[in-house]
Chains A and B, each alone.
Chain A
Amino acid sequence: GENVEQHPSTLSVQEGDSAVIKCTYSDSASNYFPWYKQELGKRPQLIIDIRSNVGEKKDQRIAVTLNKTAKHFSLHITETQPEDSAVYFCAARVNAGNMLTFGGGTRLMVKP
């Protein structure tokens, strides 16, 4: 089955700096890569996603890049703010049943 590795497990940045979280996946048939944000005690919520036919996608301060050859994708957050502090999960989808395999998560702390 699919395996998704996520790094780093924790990331601390100063407010205003950029943050980058990286994920690798094992199954070359994966075709959809969402990123979820989970605030403490809350449910995961989708923040951005990318399909396998696209190399990069941006939405205001967040962007995701995908390298299909290397089987890795990354989340970039620019101009970080304290409200960006949360756990971020990457995921990969292989089949039409919309089953997602999640990475282990990255706890991002933005220091004011």
Chain B
Amino acid sequence: NAGVTQTPKFQVLKTGQSMTLQCAQDMNHNSMYWYRQDPGMGLRLIYYSASEGTTDKGEVPNGYNVSRLNKREFSLRLESAAPSQTSVYFCASSEVRGFSYNEQFFGPGTRLTVL
């Protein structure tokens, strides 16, 4: 049981390049999330997916797109990277049933630098 996995672990891009961050979970969770973490700013939600086939914007969605490929996988795409997108990106998953409160499990993170 690997939990939440992310690839790659590190990435350096030049301004304007594109890339996709991959995330997968093996806990059969219905909800998945993408966050970015910047120094002193905590974790900010970029996009989330409440279930397979649905996605919604979070607090900071500009410059990103997502795809919920199936129940296990949720990818984050940067179409034209900018230096402001230099950050650590975390994927998370949880099981949500109505108003039940369930822990969000985080992946190990991807450290992205945009030059």
Measuring CB to CB, which residues of chain A are less than 8 angstroms from any residue of chain B? 1, 6, 9, 31-32, 34, 42-46, 49, 51, 89, 91, 93, 96-105
Contact = CB atoms under 8 A, between A and B. Distances in A.
Contacts of A100: 43, 45, 104
A102 B44 contact: yes
B106 A96 contact: no
Contacts of A9: 40
Interface in B53-96: 56, 58-59, 90, 94, 96
Contacts of A101: 45, 59
Contacts of A34: 103-104
**Interface on chain B toward A: helix, strand, loop, or mixed SS?**
loop
A43 B43 CA distance: 11
Contacts of A103: 42
A96 B48 CA distance: 13
Contacts, number: 60
B45 to A, nearest CB: 6
Given A1-B59, A44-B106, A89 B43 contact: yes
Question: Range of interface residues on chain B?
Answer: 20 to 34
Contacts of B106: 43-45
A2 to B, nearest CB: 9
A9 B44 CA distance: 17
B101 A93 contact: yes
B107 A43 contact: yes
A31 B22 CA distance: 31
B28 to A, nearest CB: 15
Contacts of B90: 43-44
Nearest to B111: A41
Contacts of B98: 96
Given A1-B59, A44-B106, A96 B99 contact: yes
